Amino acid sequence: MLAFAEGTSCTTTDPPLADSYRALLCRGELEGVGAASAHAVESLAMLERDLPIIDLERLASRDSRESKACADAMARAASEWGFFQVVNHGVGRDLLEEMRREQAKLFRLPFRTKDKAGLLNGSYRWGNPTATSLGQLSWSESFHVPLPSISREDCDYGKLNSLRGVMQVVADAMSRVAYTVAGTLAENLGQEAGGGEPVFPAGCDGTTCFLRLNRYPACPFAADSFGMVPHTDSDFLTILCQDQVGGLQLIKDSHWVAVKPRANALIVNVGDLFQAWSNNSYKSVEHKVVANSKAERFSVAYFMCPLSDSPVGTYGEPSPYKPFTFGEYRRSVRDDVERTGKKIGLPNFLKRSTVHGLD
């Protein structure tokens, strides 16, 4: 049995992640699984890469050749990486820094207050209560907030009166970026706009999306822990603002690569629904956050999601996927995780049924 150093238990602010770690480690040892093999955290030096950079000012250029070149570069990044960075995106640096300060104040509240007081309509989450192994434990905490609840009078912000306004402005600004990017990628595949408004993605009207505030506490077991377990996003598109601590990694050419933080850039990644809608032209790529032993990490993510009963659809036929709604997809993911501890996702909806990969 491993001996734990004193002082590694959680503070009154941090969730009891250390307790979860100990319990899962003991369970693994009892079952003959050592800490090093309990999950897929890599100990080798990680290759750090710059994501493709898309300048959104070029997209609005009066020069049609310039805007087309920008759109083509965005589509290429979505196809080859599934991730890219956008600059000149219109979300002010001062606003994001204010969001970071408000976020820090929120997460500095006592754990019991965050977990039990119903803040932000009870949207607080931590770790992974259903984890059965270290490979399923995320060393993080978050508030996953539906956009409509941000401005609702009955949404409890406690004493953080200024948080509501900042969250609303950030959500609005990230929403504009998301719809610009999604519309551009859809048009690249021939999707037409109608009535002066984008018809893609269907069922997304700004009230169906989410804003998630993330904190990754410093982890005394960082070499053996995930900040966020490997996963793909189950939405159409994600817009992420991360700090300069780093830790985001993704699969590129069958290898994990570390994403080099870039000041003033937002990260965009394709979600499962967009991959399905694009008939696999764009890729929803597995990614994770690695734990850090010295520094806490903050990020803000905007998730572009449709109504639960919205058909995901496709930009053209034939599609490799059976028709499904967002609600059906979420239920499938939930059932897989409850049954196997792991998300399967899109392979469940292939016309030729298989869970071993995409045809």
Calculate the average pLDDT of the chain: 88
Q: How confident is the model at residue 300 (pLDDT cuts 50, 70, 90)?
A: very high
Strand order in the sheet with 248-252: 48-49, 255-259, 248-252, 287-290, 226-231
Looking at residue 32, its pLDDT comes to 53
Query: Taking the chain, what is the end-to-end CA distance rounded to the nearest angstrom?
Result: 44
Residues 6+ apart with CB under 8 A from 282: 75, 78, 79, 82, 185, 270, 274, 275
Taking 70 as the threshold, does the pLDDT of residue 43 lie above it?
Answer: no
Looking at residue 141, its pLDDT comes to 98
Taking 90 as the threshold, does the pLDDT of residue 71 lie above it?
Answer: yes
Percent of the chain with pLDDT over 70: 87
Residue 19 C-beta-side C-alpha neighbours within 13 Å: 7
Looking at residue 9, its pLDDT comes to 41
Indicate the angle between helix axes 93-107 and 163-188, nearest 10 degrees.
Answer: 120
Taking 50 as the threshold, does the pLDDT of residue 35 lie above it?
Answer: no
Residues 186-231 pLDDT 10s: 999 987 644 444 457 778 887 899 999 999 999 998 887 899 999 9
Q: How confident is the model at residue 339 (pLDDT cuts 50, 70, 90)?
A: confident
Integer-rounded Cα radius of gyration of the chain: 20
> Is the model's pTM score more than 0.75?
yes
- Measured between alpha carbons, how far is residue 120 from residues 82, 111, 161, 173 in Å? 31, 14, 12, 20
Taking 70 as the threshold, does the pLDDT of residue 241 lie above it?
Answer: yes
Instruction: Give the mean model confidence (pLDDT) for residues 157-176.
Output: 95
Residues 130-145 pLDDT 10s: 788 888 899 999 999 9
- Measured between alpha carbons, how far is residue 91 from residues 42, 98, 330 in Å? 34, 12, 30
Taking 90 as the threshold, does the pLDDT of residue 1 lie above it?
Answer: no
CA torsion, ordered 137, 143, 149, 151, to nearest 10 deg = -170
Taking 70 as the threshold, does the pLDDT of residue 10 lie above it?
Answer: no
- Rounded-to-integer distance, Cα 22 and Cα 24, Å: 6
Q: How confident is the model at residue 30 (pLDDT cuts 50, 70, 90)?
A: low
Taking 90 as the threshold, does the pLDDT of residue 321 lie above it?
Answer: yes
Output the six-digit token pair for 269. Answer: 């990644």
Residues 106-133 pLDDT 10s: 999 999 999 999 999 999 999 987 788 8
Looking at residue 84, its pLDDT comes to 98
Residue 61: count of CB within 10 angstroms of its CB: 14
Q: Are 8 and 225 in contact (CB under 8 A)?
A: no
Taking 60 as the threshold, does the pLDDT of residue 359 lie above it?
Answer: no
